[in-house]
Structure 1
Amino acid sequence: MTINDRRGSMQPAHSRGTNSDVHIPLTVYLLVTFGIAWLIWLPLLIAEYLRLSLSVPSVVFITLGSFTPSIVALFITWRYAGGTELRQLLGRALVWRISPAWYVLAIVGPAMVMLLAMGGHILLGGTVPDYVPFGARWLIVAVNFVLVFLIGGPLGEEFGWRGVVLPALEARFRPPWDSLILGIIWTVWHLPLFFISASAQHSLPFWLFALLTMPLCILITWVYHCSGDSLLLVMLFHAAVNTWSGVLKIGPEAAGSTRPLTLVVLLTWVVALLVVVGRKRVTSKRPLI
């Protein structure tokens, strides 16, 4: 039996013996994570408001703040649950023996959705992006992917969002509400970045970002559990979303229109709803004994 066969039903984490919600106080985790990240980003907000120039590059503050979810998750897990739970949390980033199909889905899937959205944008009269098949921009996609994975969000966030917060929410709420609530938390955590001109979020409409984050959380939860709770695959998925959105010029600033991003939001919701419906059908067909 493969990992994805065993986990395909996407059972809540607490039903598989995870007791993170018992050992790790979710409220404490969120308060510390939000407080430290927002405090790190505060100088940038003040500088933006007062039109000041800081001696330290903005990217340093943004990157440090983006690592808060994972760093706090690792510390609080050790502090409240102990070394064994900490090693288990770290070990989820080393779960790699997964069907290759899941790797393809995690890395290529977001690109397919974005290309479909861009195709719809073009059919509706939008400008064709300047995609150069063998240009320098494409040659460095792999390098960009690695950089995004390491310092662009996935590594700095996923030990927290999927490693700590998701199991705690799954112990309290049924799918897909657990993922939707996480989507709201994730969105609000990013809020200060929308007021910082050097951040990737600055050029995005907040409401579109929020509407995209919630279905993404549903899909990430699905990928996470179907891969045997692999934080590695979640990080790859997260990195793919961030990388391909830039390469394929999905953002309003690069596309010259909000329509490509709007179509990505709609398509992502469609895929997420299909996952939710599929999961309910699998659950309803499961034998009672």
Structure 2
Amino acid sequence: MHSSFRTPAWFYFSLAFGIAWVLWLFPMLASRGILPLGQVAQLACLFAGSFGPFIGAFVAVYRDGGWLAMREFAGRSLRYRMGPIYFLSAMLLTPLAAGLSMLWLASHGGPPFATGVSLSHFPLLYLELFLFGGSVNEEFGWCYAIDRLQQRHNLLRAAVVLGVIWGCWHIPLFFIVGLTQSFMPFWAFLIFTIALRVVIVWGYASNRKSILVALLFHTASNFAFNLFAVVDRSPQHDERGFIGFALIMLAVSLLVALTARCYRQAPTDSIATTDVDTSS
């Protein structure tokens, strides 16, 4: 099936950002005592806003090709056939990078190396993060976005641009008191989102645009933040753990960018076509 993009890219990004930023404005004001809003309502706004990319993608896909295009696009989340290297990378890369950073920190005056989740809780936590932790909310949108950006850029440049956009999409969260982002330096977070997006796009593009690969990478990233205390919420506010995590991911992304076949191939016009996956 051939499907050209009829929806302007700005329309998708306006929805992805607009839905998130408008809804996140309420908890941002509430956390600073400007707006009277209960904790449950704040969490509801945070959760609903995180679906901006998801909603934007499906609205744009419908405008591009109707229900058939939406069905094909959603079906890419079921493309489970992937090479072992991609599956292992999606599941283990970010937790290992976070663990390395915390090992280094423990040997340089930081807290003793420890995990914050018991082994028996791994499966349930992973499932919760997969379904409700941001992966589904975001990755359908960012996969649509990388397809759009590749119309004007080669794949690596598109991945870097999307990494910047992804990082900036989170900006309101940095102003919500007590939220994880409020304890991070934004410059390091931007390095992290660019690096992780380069790695996610590598998995996505190398496996027939499998949205499932992107979902697994995103979930493992969130899992790493729960497994290790890379973000220090204590009064000491030691940022070295997260900065180390971001720099390790940057090194990994550079290795991927220099060696991955998908980043060395000449761009083609295949980005404007959508393959029907009869196997899923």
- TM class by shorter chain equals 0.7 to 0.9
1:79 to 58, 63, 71: 63
Aligned-residue offset at 1:52? 4.2
Q: Note the alpha carbon deviations across 1:88-128, whole angstroms, 9 max, x for none.
A: 11011010122344222211111111111222222333221
For normalisation by structure 1, the TM-score amounts to 0.83
Task: Map residues 251-266 of structure 1 onto 2, 5 A cutoff.
Answer: 251-253=231-233, 257-266=238-247
1:217 to 197, 218, 221: 197
Task: Return the offset for 1:45.
Answer: 2.1
1:237 is aligned to 2:217: yes
Q: Structure 1 residues 196, 68: CA separation in 2 closer, same or farther (over 3 Å shift)? A: same
1:45 maps to amino acid: M
- Tell me how far 1:279 sits from its aligned partner: 3.1
- In the alignment, structure 1 segments of 5+ residues that lack a partner are 1-16
- Pair 1:32-2:15 in alignment: yes
Q: Distance in 2 between matches of 1:58 and 1:129?
A: 33
TM alignment of 1:6-45, pairs within 5 A = 22-45=5-28
User: Please, what TM-score do these two structures have when normalized by structure 2?
Assistant: 0.86
1:197 aligned partner, one-letter code: V
- Give the aligned partner of residue 228 of structure 2: 248
**Aligned equivalent of 2:30:** 47
Residues 169-178 or 46-55, more deviating: 46-55
When residues 223 and 18 of structure 1 are mapped into structure 2, their CA distance, relative to the original with a 3 A threshold, is farther
Q: 1:52 to 1:170 in 2, by over 3 A?
A: same
Deviation at 1:256, TM superposition (A): 5.1
What SS does structure 2 have at the residue aligned with 1:57? helix
Taking the aligned partners of 2:243 and 2:201, their CA distance within structure 1 comes to 22
Contact 2:52 2:138 in 1 (8 A): yes
The answer to whether 1:115 aligns with 2:115 is no
Structure 1 CA distance, aligned partners of 2:145 and 2:264? 24
Aligned positions of 1:193-208 closer than 5 A = 193-208=173-188
CA distance in 2, matches of 1:219, 1:41: 28
2:15–2:55 contact (8 Å) kept in structure 1: no
Q: How far, CA to CA, are the matches of 2:265 and 2:49 in structure 1? A: 42
Question: For residue 93 of structure 2, what is the amino acid of its counterpart?
Answer: G
Unmatched runs of 5 consecutive residues or more in structure 2: 267-280
Tell me the alpha carbon deviations over residues 182-235 of structure 1, each in whole angstroms, 9 at most, x when there is no partner. Answer: 011111111111111253322222121111101111001001112221111211
State the SS of the aligned residue for 1:125: coil
Check 1:227–1:80 CA distance in 2 against 1; reply closer, same or farther (3 A cut).
Answer: closer
| C-alpha separation in 2, matches of 1:25 and 1:125 | 51
> Partner of 2:181: helix, strand, or coil?
coil
User: Is contact 2:77–2:210 with CA below 8 Å preserved after alignment?
Assistant: yes
1:148 and 2:129 correspond: yes
Tell me the distance in 2 between the aligned counterparts of 1:182 and 1:26: 12
Change in CA separation of 1:199 and 1:81 when aligned onto 2, cut-off 3 Å: farther
Identity, % of aligned pairs? 30
Aligned partner of residue 112 in structure 2, secondary structure: coil
Secondary structure of 2:68 counterpart = helix
Contact 1:24 1:81 (8 Å CA) reproduced: no
What is the root-mean-square deviation in Å for CA atoms of aligned residues? 2.4
Cα gap change, 1:125/1:110 in structure 2, threshold over 3 Å: closer, same or farther?
same
Please say if residues 62 and 199 of structure 1, whose CA atoms lie closer than 8 Å, have aligned partners that are also in contact: no
CA contact (8 A) 1:148 1:242 kept: yes
Q: Does the CA contact (< 8 Å) of 1:70 and 1:156 recur in 2?
A: yes
- C-alpha contact (below 8 Å) 2:95/2:227 kept by paired residues: no
